[in-house]
A and B are shown apart, each in its own frame.
Chain A
Amino acid sequence: MEASNTIKITYREALKQSLREALQKDDRVFLMGEDVGRYGGAFAVSKGLLEEFGEERIMDVPLSESGFVGAGIGAAMAGMKPIVEVMTINFGLLPMDQIINNAATLLHMSGGQLNVPVVIRMGCGIGRQLAAQHSHSWEPFYAHVPGLVVLSVGTHEDARGMLAAALESPDPVIIFEYTSMLNMEMEIAKDVPELGISKAKVRREGNDISIITYGTGVHKCMEAAAELARGGIDAEVIDLRVLRPLDEETFLASVAKTHQALVVEDAWCSVGFSAEIISRIMEKAFYELDAPVKRLCGVEVPIPYPLHLEEASVPQVKDIVNSVQKTLKP
């Protein structure tokens, strides 16, 4: 065992380390958001950072997403490197005007003169019984918008390394972090890997089917793949990571190898992200397909509070296993 090269870390801790590192590395970086300072963050991701970096750089803001996200955009235009936290995805609808009409569009509207290098982090996803008020999977809304870079942090490795890459971007970056994964522990490399924000990643290689996913889908699909392997099915798991601009090369190459594909996401099905993936497969890899491409998505309801209903509202490991088995052995 080469235990010395890896560390065991929670998703929350990985996020916090990436924040601390960013704050240490560049004076222009600061964190702003509701309760990020004194309270330590709604999910304790920024706990302790106020004491370490002070009020100027760990900034509590009023309950007005439109206002403080707009302020972050302005700061980015003025040369700062703001990291703006939006507590949960539900509140992420309030600053959409700022994000789409300003952050995503200013470069175009200024004739290429104004970059907006803001990083906006949003707590996202389903799975802590936070109900329809505080849990949804709305990545597809943002992935629709040209001018944004949209990242989905589905692994501890990305939780640790994606922020640094996002801060390098001259354009606005939305980072989706998953509240249901905060307490989850994983081994990751001790040295922070250099992670770009342009490529999807094959998390598990396989030859029988390509399971294409992102966000919380990644660990569920990895678990499903492990179970399928016990049944003799060798699944490949692709973590899209970057929802915009989409890296299609990786999943098209995978489909060309396995000739079968399943797309898994927590987001609602209709007009969802899986629809985009499947369209591209149809357009560019149709003659590689040996079966219709299937998708497993969220049930189209507001996220329910009761645990059993909440679980039933998004694809679970057993659903993924079943779906793969059905596709391969109908």
Chain B
Amino acid sequence: MIEFLMPSLGADMEDGTLVEWRKKPGDFLNRGDIIADVDTQKGLIEIEVFEEGVLEKLLVEEGLKVPVGTILALINPDGIAGKKSKGQPMDEKVPIQQPIEETRPVSFEEQNSETKRIKASPLAKRIAEAERIDLSSISGTGENGAITKEDVENAIATREGVAEMEKPKGIKMEIAGEPEKGKAGTEQVGMEQLKEAVPEKKPMGTVPPVEAIRSAVAAAMSKSNREIPHYYLEKKIDMSKSLSWLKEANSERPVQKRLLPAALLIKAVALAVDEVPALNAVWENGLQLKNEINIGFVVSLRTGGIMVPAIHQADAKSVDEIMEVLNDVIPRARALKLRSSELSDSTITITNIGEGSADKVFGVIYPPQVAIIGFGGISEEPFAENGLLGIRPIVHVTLAGDHRATDGLTGSRFLGALNKYLQNPETL
């Protein structure tokens, strides 16, 4: 049985309000499905599920505000993505009465590393799916331990026996039993305090107030400035080649497919980071490199505050694909309708101050990341090259690095690689 937890959508998130369940018990969940809407300081977030299986039970009622790490639901893993749970027969369901004591935050990485392909006959799988039987809970008696039709039928018989005895006991009673009307624990909530999760009557689907976003930004940035010793580097990059490449590329594209310089810059950063992987990392008990390059892209909200959606695996995406992601994600970020993976997965951040504004931006690293890249507006400047002075479109690129994790040399190598890609835009 997989415990589906209230995810952490950033280092600063401590709790979230379960606004709406999008799935009901019995529904089959595919990886990437939206399972619920959760209200956080950063808005109403669509929470994705990262396991396949059948939604077994919902443990948190709509409207409840619970700390990060609280078990929200139980998922019965199915064949392909099933999590191995050896020696846990069908009738030993996770006791939902005391989820709180047993809560242990399990990261998704941890769960994935435990997944194992379940060997079952095609017929057994077909029956199990129809009957909503969790294949991971069955030990097979077929060839090499494969699960057979008979094994599934036995499991169905056992389940029917158990269902007879089991009485419906909802979490509803549990939490309602400790009504502690008032403010929910917003201070560092430890696991022992999870019990104090208090139902907070809140109108569903409301956009969080400006102050909430402001305070989320405040918390993250304060933590960053408090804990991260930043170093700063800057490089002037000639954008004439990139811009003329873009102009030519756009001449062949319909208006809605046109590329903005931001898409090119994101791709260039992704490739440059690939060459300097120490910057694509988090600092959590030491430097931990990340495998995927997920670029967080700062989106400023009109009402103030920022959102930083992730562009997943930007190094593997074409410039056109990145542009498509931007077109999709920026309006959603502004509408405070992002998905959980978009909020929590980024491994390095870009802040792009945009046309006609400041020349340079020196970013504040979003913890636990170790670097932020800042692009100023592109503007014409005198530029010397090969002994000649010319007027060129110039962008000032800055890098703020976590000096615990890397040194100026690393950052410098990154800026060099970035320049190389922007001088050869056809390679992007």
Contact = CB atoms under 8 A, between A and B. Distances in A.
A211 B408 CA distance: 73
B142 A291 contact: yes
A256 to B, nearest CB: 10
A291 B148 CA distance: 7
Interface residues of A, number: 10
B142 A288 contact: no
B122 A330 contact: no
Chain B's interface size range is 10 to 19
A269 interface: no
B56 to A, nearest CB: 25
Contacts of B121: 259, 289-291
Interface string B140-180: 01111010111000000000000000000000000000000
A302 interface: no
B124 interface: yes
A290 B148 contact: yes
Interface string A261-297: 0000000000000000000000000111111100000
A289 B123 contact: yes
Contacts of A286: 122
Contact of B149 (A290, A292, A327, A330): A290
A98 B116 CA distance: 56
A203 to B, nearest CB: 25
A288 B122 contact: yes
For A289, A291, A292, the residue with the greatest tally of chain B CB atoms inside 10 Å of its CB is A291
Nearest to B146: A291
Nearest to A292: B143
A147 B136 CA distance: 50
A288 to B, nearest CB: 6
B126 interface: yes
A274 B60 CA distance: 55
B143 A288 contact: no
B143 to A, nearest CB: 4
Contacts of B148: 290-291
Interface string B120-143: 011111100000000000000111
Given A287-B122, A288-B123, A291-B121, A259 B143 contact: no
Contacts of B126: 287
B133 to A, nearest CB: 15
B228 to A, nearest CB: 55
A280 to B, nearest CB: 15
A290 B126 CA distance: 10
Contacts of B146: 291
Contacts of A327: 143
Contacts of B122: 286-290
For B141, B142, B144, the residue with the greatest tally of chain A CB atoms inside 10 Å of its CB is B142
Contacts of B124: 290
Interface in A21-80: none
B143 A330 contact: yes
Nearest to B151: A290
Interface in A287-317: 287-292
A210 B366 CA distance: 64
B141 to A, nearest CB: 8
A259 B142 contact: no
A290 B149 CA distance: 6
Nearest to A288: B123
Contacts of B144: 330
Interface in B42-69: none
Contacts of A292: 143
Nearest to B121: A290
B345 to A, nearest CB: 36
A44 to B, nearest CB: 47
Nearest to A294: B143
A295 B339 CA distance: 51
A330 B142 contact: yes
A327 B126 CA distance: 20
Contacts of A290: 121-124, 142, 148-150
B143 A287 contact: no
B123 to A, nearest CB: 4
Contacts of A259: 121, 123, 149
A291 B149 CA distance: 9
A291 B124 CA distance: 9
Contact of A287 (B123, B141, B150): B123
10 contacts: A286-B122, A287-B122, A287-B123, A288-B123, A289-B123, A290-B124, A290-B148, A290-B149, A291-B121, A291-B143
Given A291-B121, A330-B141, 8 more contacts: A287-B123, A288-B122, A289-B121, A290-B150, A291-B142, A327-B143, A330-B142, A330-B143
Interface of B: 121-126, 141-144, 146, 148-150
Going nearest first, the 9 A-B pairs with the smallest beta carbon separation are A290-B121, A290-B123, A330-B143, A290-B149, A287-B122, A287-B126, A289-B122, A290-B148, A286-B122
